[in-house]
């Protein structure tokens, strides 16, 4: 498979979970991939695991810090050339009842999930427009489409990501640049493991019971797998998806329709 041949993709939050699965899928389809994240050791380990699939590099990047983003993206361009595909996957989720959500928690959720998407996108969108080609895929979660109790700040941030996606898609519509969102339901990632741990700590249920509770929200009765999200991202990143822009594609087993 070489449909992404000669394209350079950046995947934020690329050290594990959905980001790692996306990176692998893009490599298999012929792209050069730069992994970004805050944990350099994790990125290096992931790079080693993916090296046989194709050209892959890593850059430490805190998406919530403008200087860090600028440095990382400049280094990525120096390594592999202009960036053709950006997958904004980096994110965090913290749980708390709304009345106990602190301003610091609120700001952290907005900074990482929304402002991080903004900062990273700013690094690539002008160049994409100048070259007449680009693919931006934002991993936005079903929390961008509906509400979930006890994660008001996270939902607000992800709703913001979807609004940004739709607005930028219109700005870029005639420039060869598409901007879409992929909205996974509960997926087998560290965020879900943290959610399971919180349920266990607060309710005394077993980890398996907690996982079943999360899976019950999916009409298929299971957790989404990272590879399933990655296939959708890779399609949106392809040259053939040129008519897809401003869309929010839910990968959630029918939880949202």
> In angstroms, rounded to a whole number, what is the distance separating the alpha carbons of residues 148 and 193?
17
> E strands of 16-111, at which residues?
32-37, 56-60, 85-88
Q: Is 154 a catalytic residue?
A: yes
Give the DSSP per-residue string, 62-80: -TT-HHHHHHHHHHHHHHH
Biggest CA pair distance of the chain: 55
| Residue positions counted in the chain | 257
250 membership: H or E segment, kind and range: strand 248-251
120 membership: H or E segment, kind and range: helix 116-131
How far is residue 175 CA from its own chain's centroid? 23
Residue 238 CB neighbours (<10 A): 18
> In angstroms, rounded to a whole number, what is the distance separating the alpha carbons of residues 53 and 226?
18
Closest by alpha carbon to 93, among 229, 191, 12, 214? 191
In the DSSP assignment, the letter for residue 111 is: I
* Encoded tokens for 225: 């797998």
- Residue 61's SS3 state is coil
- Residue 23's SS3 state is helix
**Residues with a known catalytic role:** 154
């Amino acid at each position: 498979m070489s449909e992404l041949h000669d394209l350079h993709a950046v995947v934020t939050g690329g050290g594990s979970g959905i980001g790692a699965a996306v990176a692998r899928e893009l490599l298999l389809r012929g792209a050069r991939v730069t992994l970004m994240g805050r944990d350099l050791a994790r990125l290096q380990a992931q790079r080693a695991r993916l090296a046989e699939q194709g050209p892959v590099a890593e850059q430490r990047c805190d998406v919530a810090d403008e200087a860090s983003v600028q440095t990382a993206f400049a280094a990525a361009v120096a390594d592999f050339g202009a960036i053709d595909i950006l997958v904004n996957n980096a994110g965090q989720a913290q749980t708390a009842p709304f009345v106990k959500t602190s301003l610091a928690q609120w700001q952290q959720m907005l900074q990482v999930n929304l402002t991080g998407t903004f900062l990273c996108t700013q690094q690539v969108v002008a160049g994409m427009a100048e070259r007449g080609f680009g693919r931006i895929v934002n991993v936005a979660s079903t929390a961008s489409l509906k509400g979930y109790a006890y994660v008001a700040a996270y939902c607000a941030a992800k709703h913001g990501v979807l609004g940004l996606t739709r607005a930028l898609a219109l700005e870029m519509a005639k420039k060869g640049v598409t901007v879409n969102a992929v909205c996974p339901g509960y997926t087998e990632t560290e965020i879900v493991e943290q959610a399971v741990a919180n349920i266990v700590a607060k309710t005394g249920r077993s980890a398996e019971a907690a996982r079943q509770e999360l899976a019950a929200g999916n009409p298929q009765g299971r957790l989404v797998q990272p590879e399933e999200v990655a296939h959708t991202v890779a399609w949106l990143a392809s040259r053939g998806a040129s008519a897809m822009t401003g869309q929010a594609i839910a990968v959630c087993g029918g939880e949202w329709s």
